[in-house]
Structure 1
Amino acid sequence: MLLGEHANTARHEAIRASGPATDTPDIAVVGAGIIGVACALRLARQGLRVVVIDQQDPGRGASFGNAGHLATEQVFPIADLSILKRLPGMLMDPMGPLRLDWRYLPRALPWFTRLLLNLRAAPFQRTVSGLRALNESSLGAWHRLLKDIARPDLLRQDGSLLVFEHPDSRQAIEALQARMQHQQVPVDYWSATSVRETAPQLSERIQGGLFFPQTGHFLDPYRVVCELVEAAKTSGVHFLKQQVLGAHLQADGVSLITDHGPLTAHRVLIASGAHSAKLTAALTGKQVPLDTERGYHLMLPHEQERLPFAVTSLERKFIMTPMADGLRLAGTVEFAGLERPAAMERAWQLHRLSAGLFTRDLNAQAATPWMGFRPSLPDSLPIIDRVCDGKVLLAFGHQHLGLTQAAVTAELIAQIALPATAPLSDGLPALEPYRLDRF
């Protein structure tokens, strides 16, 4: 579900669903976001008959409105122990950067309890190792995927910058730099002078920051999905605009129940983001502790030349990414489930947060707000796996790293979908940290 999006008719028509396949597909991919589409393309390029099913047009979920940042530097869990001190503020401040709707608290408490348990030393290290392995492979995987569809121009590998404003934040920045270096994340400290030499429109308030050279950003995340869809169609992938209501295993495959009737495939890939838990439970019997980070953005169409790359504020806790259609402000997180209406004031709050970060305030004329759902598991790792005798593949739970990890996830899914006798690719992460049976 998307709210407040600025529609682009030409792009919308470019990815209209094609007709159904006549033969039983080898794999039915449930979910037409960036991960599902990238996986479908990889699977089709291996010669498999693939159908993609989603109740929305491709790319109209969280993939439409993400921050566009290829965040390979983010190797730590989505929260730390300070969340305990912040809990009262999360409940009381509707405009805070991390918000927990008090009405959702009873449902969220078990998930947050598991999150806190995963911050103990051993599970914390497993999370960091798992995130590192995916992120270190992500940039190369994206270059391969974009080269494969002849669109390397969609990605800018210009790095990204985390800035701070208050002198007393320097200690936190230096501590973060040390933690990043310990995890072998490429990072450089930039002085205030270096920041303004590269991004002269940032204000004199900026004291310095950390520059991450092995990161990048997409000029238009939705366009990336569109291009992958077109490449997938060329490779024989069929797209069906249907809602999957249920599923069950059969002797020769999987039967999906949709609002257009039953659909049978030899295998199914569940890649439907925050909506993946119900179908996973139906097919595997496993109740996955999947929750959703409701993310907001504000798109500023008159701010196309403000920044050379993505810039994040340490104190204000949001990111600004330059795109083809303007400057996207993103980063706020809300835990309120899948049902409650969007609080679009949180999107507009991002513009207020930007005040004072530039020599001239950002122009919010004709700005468009958006909200979408990021699928999150309490150990901050996705599920990428092959279960039920190979009939069920899983690729969901990437939290706010779905765009970053989509290409490498597609390579992993393509690898485990191969027959057991096929050689495995070198350089991809081991699957063990992402298995379903860890829950």
Structure 2
Amino acid sequence: MKQINAAQETIAVIGAGIVGVTTALKLQKEGYKVTLIDEKGIAEGCSKGNAGHFATEQVFPLAQKGLLPHIPAMLINPLGPFKIDIRYLPKAIPWFVRFLINMKKDRFDRNKHALKSLTELALQSWKTQLSDANLTNKITLNGSLLTFSGSKLTAEKVLKEYVSEGVSAELLNREQLDILEPGIDKTINYAILFPEVGHSIDPYNLVHDLFKAYQAYGGEYIETSIININQFDNHVTITSKTANYEYEKIVICAGAYSKNLCAYVGLNVPLEAERGYHLMVKSKSMPKRPIASFDKKLILTPMTSGLRLAGTVEFAGVKKSMNIERAKVLFPLGKSIWPDIYEQSDSNHWMGCRPSLPDSLPVISQSLSTPRVYYNFGHQHLGLTLATISAELITSIIKKESNKIDVTPFRIDRF
């Protein structure tokens, strides 16, 4: 195939969340003629309501054996962090079977190594991207906390697991917590401080700021609903309800909605939507950093609009409307961590669909069966964290350059 100069080559990036926008920006800066496509608008999916946590400490895949004994209690507990819509269960079973298989030690260790290879580069990648766009003030580097209400033994065990993987972490006792974050509930005895992570005080506006940088480089945007994709020898045709668009390459970055787009080009990807919720509340005092609870499985992040309580995992597909009760349960859970919070209203509830694959690894790949179609999706709980490093990696794949890390574990044909 004739090689085309990047400056002449047209690429469509489908999906205008944080992964899609950073991918489009990176490709546009590299000299490609990029068009960003989304049916809902910029950052109207998970990027609108995520926890805002650059969670580079999260090196462990979700498929962990230690999770199994806790699942029944989670399902029974109305305030529990895990729920499956019984009507959706038959559709979800194949995904859960694959998820369980990935708990095997050899698979877990392999997936952990691959995930860690991304998280180790993620924060520096973000710093570079934000510096290039003159947006360094969009990330706050105060670290984060993981709190424990139980014994010191549990906290020490978890600390050891993180430290053994090279994650910078230290255990704080109650006295140290009172100095660092005096507003934390008195029932919390210990916390792990991750000093080398950060957060965004407004993740929605962060995506919009990066989109403006993309436009400043000459990037284009189309808001339309895609109903088909066809690959030909020298181009790809994207069909919307009103028009056809031709590009020499495309990149699918549509999060939980990538499954249907992949089906258009003949790929069946085991992608599930982990529906996550948030609740915005006010507080008499604000923490200085994200605070996650090991016991309650939620995270509190200080933002410009208040304190964001985020968490829960719900399997019910992408089409079902928000279950507002799943958002409301975050209030008592959050208050048990940060007692100063008050005020909740229906307008402050939100739900988004995290794109999760059963091995907890994203797809960052080209496929041999669809060489003009590239893929960058499936980042589960780490879309914000891994967005810029994923954009770097997929750009290198498109340019046929060597990558910083082994990208084999992220290939789309691994399933």
The TM-score with structure 1 as length reference comes to 0.89
Alpha-carbon contact 1:304-1:324 (below 8 Å) kept = no
Residue 26 (str. 1) matches residue 44 (str. 2): no
Give the alignment partner of residue 202 of structure 2, picking from 220, 224, 229.
Answer: 220
1:252 matched residue in structure 2: 234
How far apart in 1 are the matches of 2:78 and 2:236? 43
Give the alignment partner of residue 363 of structure 1, picking from 338, 342, 353.
Answer: 342
How far apart in 1 are the matches of 2:43 and 2:209? 10
Residue identity opposite 1:134 in structure 2: L
Residue 407 (str. 1) matches residue 388 (str. 2): yes
Alpha-carbon contact 1:304-1:327 (below 8 Å) kept = no
Q: Deviations over 1:325-368 (max 9, x none)?
A: 1110001111111122211111111111123333x431125560
Alpha-carbon contact 2:75-2:82 (below 8 Å) kept = no
How far apart in 2 are the matches of 1:178 and 1:77? 17
Residue 435 (str. 1) matches residue 414 (str. 2): no
Identity in percent: 38
1:325 matched residue in structure 2: 305
Residue 109 (str. 1) matches residue 88 (str. 2): no
1:47 matched residue in structure 2: 31
Residue identity opposite 1:362 in structure 2: I
- Alpha carbons of 1:109 and 1:219: their partners in 2 closer, same or farther (altered >3 Å)? same
Q: Deviations over 1:391-426 (max 9, x none)?
A: 1110000001000000101111121121x4x5x46x
2:185 matched residue in structure 1: 203
Alpha-carbon contact 2:8-2:32 (below 8 Å) kept = no
Give the alignment partner of residue 263 of structure 1, picking from 245, 250, 254.
Answer: 245
Give the alignment partner of residue 128 of structure 2, picking from 144, 147, 163.
Answer: 144
How far apart in 2 are the matches of 1:121 and 1:416? 30
Q: Secondary structure at the match of 2:65?
A: coil
Residue identity opposite 2:412 in structure 1: L
Give the alignment partner of residue 321 of structure 2, picking from 338, 341, 344.
Answer: 341
Q: Secondary structure at the match of 2:146?
A: strand
Alpha-carbon contact 1:101-1:334 (below 8 Å) kept = yes
How far apart in 2 are the matches of 1:84 and 1:210? 24
Residue identity opposite 1:254 in structure 2: V
Give the alignment partner of residue 80 of structure 1, picking from 35, 51, 64.
Answer: 64
How far apart in 2 are the matches of 1:218 and 1:321? 9
Residue identity opposite 1:133 in structure 2: S
Comparing 83-92 and 335-344, the one that deviates more: 83-92
Alpha-carbon contact 1:267-1:392 (below 8 Å) kept = yes
How far apart in 1 are the matches of 2:136 and 2:38? 27
1:68 matched residue in structure 2: 52
How far apart in 2 are the matches of 1:91 and 1:341? 20
- Alpha carbons of 1:79 and 1:122: their partners in 2 closer, same or farther (altered >3 Å)? closer
How far apart in 2 are the matches of 1:354 and 1:338? 26
How far apart in 1 are the matches of 2:336 and 2:257? 38
Alpha-carbon contact 1:290-1:397 (below 8 Å) kept = yes
Q: Deviations over 1:234-273 (max 9, x none)?
A: 1111111101111111111111111221111000100000
Please report how far the alpha carbon of residue 286 of structure 1 lies from its aligned counterpart in structure 2 after TM superposition. 2.5
Alpha-carbon contact 2:253-2:377 (below 8 Å) kept = yes
Residue identity opposite 1:372 in structure 2: G
1:288 matched residue in structure 2: 269
CA RMSD of aligned residues (A): 1.8
Q: Secondary structure at the match of 2:283?
A: coil
Q: Secondary structure at the match of 2:80?
A: coil
Give the alignment partner of residue 313 of structure 1, picking from 290, 293, 313.
Answer: 293
Q: How many residues align?
A: 407
Residue identity opposite 1:30 in structure 2: I
Residue identity opposite 1:371 in structure 2: M
How far apart in 1 are the matches of 2:96 and 2:208? 35
How far apart in 2 are the matches of 1:25 and 1:53? 17
How far apart in 2 are the matches of 1:274 and 1:408? 19
Comparing 384-393 and 288-297, the one that deviates more: 384-393
How far apart in 2 are the matches of 1:244 and 1:228? 23
- Alpha carbons of 1:304 and 1:326: their partners in 2 closer, same or farther (altered >3 Å)? farther
Alpha-carbon contact 1:269-1:395 (below 8 Å) kept = yes
Residue identity opposite 1:323 in structure 2: M
Residue identity opposite 1:433 in structure 2: P
Please report how far the alpha carbon of residue 79 of structure 1 lies from its aligned counterpart in structure 2 after TM superposition. 3.6
Please report how far the alpha carbon of residue 305 of structure 1 lies from its aligned counterpart in structure 2 after TM superposition. 4.2
Alpha-carbon contact 1:28-1:265 (below 8 Å) kept = yes
2:215 matched residue in structure 1: 233
Q: Secondary structure at the match of 1:354?
A: helix
Q: Secondary structure at the match of 1:112?
A: helix
Q: Secondary structure at the match of 2:269?
A: coil
How far apart in 2 are the matches of 1:282 and 1:56? 20
Q: Deviations over 1:49-97 (max 9, x none)?
A: 0001110111011001000001001111124224443444454445420
Please report how far the alpha carbon of residue 278 of structure 1 lies from its aligned counterpart in structure 2 after TM superposition. 1.9
2:4 matched residue in structure 1: none
Q: Secondary structure at the match of 1:156?
A: coil
Give the alignment partner of residue 374 of structure 1, picking from 354, 365, 374.
Answer: 354
How far apart in 2 are the matches of 1:237 and 1:25? 13
Alpha-carbon contact 1:199-1:307 (below 8 Å) kept = yes
How far apart in 2 are the matches of 1:307 and 1:248? 50
Q: Secondary structure at the match of 2:340?
A: coil
The TM-score with structure 2 as length reference comes to 0.94
Residue 176 (str. 1) matches residue 158 (str. 2): yes
